[in-house]
Structure 1
Amino acid sequence: MFGCIVAGRLVQTNLQQVDVNKFTFQLDDAEAINHIVVFLLGTMPFQQGSAATVHLLWPNKTWQLLGMLSNEKASAIFRLKTNGSKSTTAQQSTTGASISDMSMDSSSSTTTSASTTPITATLGISIEPIDVVMSQIATLASSSSSSSSTAPSKALVPLSSINNNSATTVSPDSVAAIAQKVMSHLYNHVTSFATAVVPQGSTVLNVVRKAKADPMFLTRE
């Protein structure tokens, strides 16, 4: 019913049924895995009103929810990221491509040292009523969004700081001076391609006047 492919390896056919509605794949040398594809073979669809959750289990850890499969979403790709000790976090993708990111903490990112025994992880698939599956996925999505909202901004200067402080820290005269310099440089650049020098018209003066009257003029779309 289910198939599994680890990137760079053959299709796995070692599916084991451990309960009436639960199945597992053994993932050898799990620390070297970067992508996992889980899919329906197409030989046996889910019964009406059923779907499946996909989980990952490290030795001595608890099951980690990765995503889901259904008749309408017959395959899912999970991208693993390596960080440190053996624990996982997952993010259920909401796009049609169904690619989910999973942070995989381990001692090695892509290779296993000769002195270290390769680790075998377990991929679990549990068939459940579709409303149960969707409620679990909703929890996964909400936890992922909260994690992303608390992540530090990559901006050199947070936009909120600019919006909150610009009115008090930037004077109209300084904005007007910057606008005049920008327009002058632009004028010099453009006229360098002209055959005859055209004097600066009212455009520069208009921009400077607007910038002086409204310091946020140049930042407004």
Structure 2
Amino acid sequence: MAQQPQQHAFGLVLAGQAVITAPTQTLSPTSFLYALPPSPEGKAVSHIVVFLLPGIVLPPGTAAAIYLVTPNTTTQTPPKFLGAIGAGKESAIFKITAPLQGVGIGISVEPEAAVATQMTSNSNALVPVSKTPQPSTLVLAQRIIGNAFNFLSSFSSNDMVPLSAFTDWWKKFESKVRTDPTFLERDI
């Protein structure tokens, strides 16, 4: 049976502050609220890191949804969904756009499907719930060679390709990688 998250399952880091591991409030066995301390010397804090503490594994099929809780949060104005962490993505950095006075971070362990729905429907969500499987190095190499072969084969009908054609391919290939670094990850 899957173990429920413990009170001290998550850590938060604000620049210039000590790591926060104890929630201010435990709302339920799977929902926690962390009050953010005021920033030192009145400096603005724009990002927060949220992570699973070492040795903590969320129950299978769940992810931790991260919310920004402000003094304006009510049942009519719910907390702002920031993103999520979970299996394969145990930490994330989130942008905080509200002043820290009275602000908190809510963490709720929810079904992964529900969190994934929030991720896709919320353009402000920053972190995917789980990593997409990456093609193997062999597959990437085959795609690179296939791309080069297709390009270079258009230059000659007698199996002789000028070196300048390879140079042209390389420049176009590099440009394509800069423009869309994920194009090799997709099946062509």
Scaled by the length of structure 1, the TM-score of the pair is 0.45
> 1 CA distance for matches of 2:60 and 2:72?
35
Structure 1 residues 78 and 127: alpha-carbon distance in aligned structure 2, compared to 1, 3 A threshold: same
> 1 CA distance for matches of 2:11 and 2:30?
16
Identity rate of aligned residues, in percent?
A: 34
How many equivalent residue pairs? Answer: 109
Shift in Å, 1:105: 4.6
| Alignment match, 1:23 | 32
Gaps of 5+ in 1: 81-103, 107-117, 145-221
Q: Deviations over 1:162-205 (max 9, x none)?
A: xxxxxxxxxxxxxxxxxxxxxxxxxxxxxxxxxxxxxxxxxxxx
| Alignment match, 1:132 | 114
Shift in Å, 1:139: 0.8
Q: How well do the aligned residues superpose, as a CA RMSD in angstroms? A: 2.1
| Alignment match, 2:105 | 123
Scaled by the length of structure 2, the TM-score of the pair is 0.53
Could you tell me whether the CA contact under 8 Å between 1:27 and 1:120 is conserved in 2?
A: yes
Shift in Å, 1:120: 2.2
- After TM superposition, the structure 1 = structure 2 runs for residues 173-188 of structure 1, keeping only pairs within 5 Å, are none
> Is the counterpart of residue 66 in structure 1 residue 78 in structure 2?
no
Q: Which has the higher helix share?
A: 1
Structure showing greater radius of gyration is 1
Q: Deviations over 1:86-130 (max 9, x none)?
A: xxxxxxxxxxxxxxxxxx255xxxxxxxxxxx7121100011111
Shift in Å, 1:42: 2.5
Could you tell me whether the CA contact under 8 Å between 1:2 and 1:39 is conserved in 2?
A: yes
> 2 CA distance for matches of 1:55 and 1:22?
11
Letter in 2 for 1:135: T
Gaps of 5+ in 2: 1-8, 126-188
- After TM superposition, the structure 1 = structure 2 runs for residues 88-103 of structure 1, keeping only pairs within 5 Å, are none
